[in-house]
Chain A
Amino acid sequence: MTYLLHIFILIGIYVIVAQSLNLISGYTGLLSIAHAGFYGIGAYVAALMVLHFHTNFLLNMACAAVLAGLLGFVVAIPSLRLHGDYFVIATFAFQIIAFSIMNNWVSVTAGPLGLPGIPRPEILGFTFTTHVHFLALVGFFAVLTFLFLNRLVRSPYGRVLRAIREDEVFSQSLGKNVTHFKVSVFIIGAAIASIGGALYAHYITFIDPTSFTINESIFILAIVIIGGSGNLIGSIVGATVLIMVPEFLRFVGMPSSVAANMRQILYGGLLVLFMMFMPEGFVGEYAFKKGER
């Protein structure tokens, strides 16, 4: 039972993170592989604050979101000048730099040793200790994220995002301030991803840089694409499928050292197959087909 709850909590966290990437890549068409960076920054900010200053969980989360939002702003700047694959490379650079900081700034992040002993969150005197409590907490934030993003993408603001994805120059010619939209969408996406990171840090109670590598960024992107880009329900489906399916490997008696590699092979392979045969994913509305050549 605890095991099942654990899986659901993980799905909840990835739903939050994947939806925030979906806003950037699926709705606005800015393919980014820097998302594990934002997610990791959220986890590290929350962990460092609670370990050094014993601050409240919600305050940690808010600080993580503000800092990640600022970094989202920085990452968005290249998107104003670069297009298509060159922009992807720029996000790649941010991912590598973020990982390098987590791994090498030993005096603050403890480097590869990681940060152990992160306490479980506490809100108004109530401590979320059991899996059931935590599932409720993650579920709450996942639903909140969904409602917020759902409202956002259905608003006129969201319509402009889709217009930018389909034809940037045309949106500009209609008087839309593309710069403003691209930058703000990155800030929102990064802030939400960091909330997922803060939840992760408080849930696992231990973080180290290996959880936030480039492979993790590709995993989050795979959730968005396999679930369906440009559709929030898609990210829920994608997170559920990509986290549940590898768990079946456990039941066929695969040793855990092999299972970790098999899990990656599985989602890498699924990503390739979906790109080839079903690029719009399970329920997506956009398929990265209208890219520039």
Chain B
Amino acid sequence: MTSATLLVVAVSFSIIYSTARFFNFAHGVVYAWGAYFTYLMARVAGMNLGMAIAIAVVGTALLGMGIELAIYKPLRKQKASSLVLLVTSLGVYIVLQNVISLLFGDDTKSIRMWPVREGWNVLGARITPVQVIIIVSAVVLFVAIMLFLKWTNMGKAMRAVASDSELALISGINVNNVILFTFALGSALAGSAGILVSLDVDMTPTMGMRALLMGVVAMIIGGRNSIPGVALGALLLGMAQHLGAWQISSKWQDAIVFVILLIFLLARPQGFLGKKIRTAHV
């Protein structure tokens, strides 16, 4: 359950990271916006849930594109370093998170309209029908994105920009368009993950930061330029979280995750399946 949605967050973050080459912290708030757009459409505007979700996914894609066009693209034009972009994305995160708080309030909101049912018993664990839907949707999204990157022209262009944006430019790829498309795709995926999670455990304005950090950790321990690596990282992290919750206490989940991250950063910063990263520049 955790692993499945974590997988989608981690993959969506990593495609933006690998093409645009910076840690986009605003990604977390796009995830939260996915849930809140759905809430807005389903609860405030009174649409049916399917319609609301569709609009929310498009909304998050537009949000991601808007941020890219208004903020990151002009910065890239100034040849801003990845650190500049990172700091800027922190600012974007703060602004958009507080816009949610202002519009919807800090309390927990829910888009559930069905009664909470007792789950089925599967291998000694309880699982509800909603959770099954979430897991299946997350896996479908993941497989779709894998196929997309592998087989479509745009997917190939994205991989080309990720591996060397200058060479991609020379080969006639419009790098800015590819990055813009990546933001739309990544944001839509993040938004979908946010919606899936909110179906099960509701939403708060700060839900994004935690999800984002988990996604980042999954990406780093898996290996940042390898989608199978990211998937492996998400699975391991999801399991580590639950083992930690079971053996120690659920309140220490965050601390456990970040201790794991620090161990990885120090011992194997390229992750399980990643290539070695450069550590010094002359």
Number of contacting residues on A, CB 8 A? 52
- Name the interface residues of A90-145: CB closer than 8 Å to any CB of B: 90, 92-94, 96-97, 100-101, 103-104
Determine whether the beta carbon of A289 is less than 8 Å from that of B102. Answer: no
Among B81, B92, B97, the residue within 8 A (CB) of A272 is: B92
Chain A residues within 8 Å of B21, by CB? 293
Determine whether the beta carbon of A261 is less than 8 Å from that of B259. Answer: no
A177-213 toward B: CB 8 Å interface, digit per residue (1/0)? 0000000000000000000000000000000000000
The 8 A-B residue pairs with the shortest CB-CB distance, nearest first, are A291-B81, A268-B94, A271-B91, A272-B91, A268-B95, A93-B258, A291-B83, A100-B255
Determine whether the beta carbon of B282 is less than 8 Å from that of A258. Answer: no
Among B92, B99, B254, B269, the residue within 8 A (CB) of A82 is: B269
A135-173 toward B: CB 8 Å interface, digit per residue (1/0)? 000000000000000000000000000000000111000
Determine whether the beta carbon of B82 is less than 8 Å from that of A86. Answer: no
CA A97 to CA B81, docked complex, whole Å: 28
CA A290 to CA B21, docked complex, whole Å: 15
CA A135 to CA B93, docked complex, whole Å: 34
Determine whether the beta carbon of A97 is less than 8 Å from that of B216. Answer: no
Could you list 5 A-B pairs, sorted by A, with CB under 8 Å? A78-B262, A82-B265, A84-B82, A288-B84, A291-B83
Determine whether the beta carbon of A276 is less than 8 Å from that of B259. Answer: no
What is the predominant secondary structure among interface residues of chain A facing chain B? Answer: helix
Determine whether the beta carbon of B279 is less than 8 Å from that of A101. Answer: no
Q: Indicate if B190 sits at the interface (CB-CB under 8 A).
A: no
CA A291 to CA B95, docked complex, whole Å: 25
- If A81-B279, A258-B102, A293-B21 touch, whether A272 touches B82 (CB-CB below 8 Å) is no
Q: Indicate if A265 sits at the interface (CB-CB under 8 A).
A: yes
Determine whether the beta carbon of A276 is less than 8 Å from that of B75. Answer: yes
Which of A12-20, A42-50, A64-72, A214-222 has 4 or more CB atoms under 8 Å from chain B? A214-222
- Name the interface residues of B156-210: CB closer than 8 Å to any CB of A: 209
Q: Indicate if B23 sits at the interface (CB-CB under 8 A).
A: yes
Determine whether the beta carbon of B87 is less than 8 Å from that of A221. Answer: yes
Which residue from chain A places its CB closest to the CB of B93 in the assembled complex? A268
- Name the interface residues of B260-278: CB closer than 8 Å to any CB of A: 261-262, 265-266, 269, 277
Determine whether the beta carbon of B254 is less than 8 Å from that of A289. Answer: no
Chain A residues within 8 Å of B266, by CB? 77-78, 81
Please give the distance in Å from A98's CB to the nearest CB on chain B: 9
Which residue from chain B places its CB closest to the CB of A75 in the assembled complex? B262
Binding site for B on A (CB under 8 A): 31, 33, 77-78, 81-86, 88-90, 92-94, 96-97, 100-101, 103-104, 168-170, 214-215, 218, 221-222, 225, 258, 261-262, 264-265, 267-272, 275-276, 279, 287-293
Determine whether the beta carbon of B90 is less than 8 Å from that of A101. Answer: no
Determine whether the beta carbon of A93 is less than 8 Å from that of B93. Answer: no
Determine whether the beta carbon of A222 is less than 8 Å from that of B82. Answer: no
Among B90, B92, B282, the residue within 8 A (CB) of A169 is: B282
- If A81-B269, A88-B86, A265-B99 touch, whether A169 touches B91 (CB-CB below 8 Å) is no
B97-133 toward A: CB 8 Å interface, digit per residue (1/0)? 1110110000000000000000000000000000000
Please give the distance in Å from A95's CB to the nearest CB on chain B: 9
Determine whether the beta carbon of B88 is less than 8 Å from that of A78. Answer: no
CA A264 to CA B96, docked complex, whole Å: 10
Determine whether the beta carbon of B23 is less than 8 Å from that of A214. Answer: no
Chain A residues within 8 Å of B80, by CB? 275, 279, 289
B67-86 toward A: CB 8 Å interface, digit per residue (1/0)? 00001001100011111101
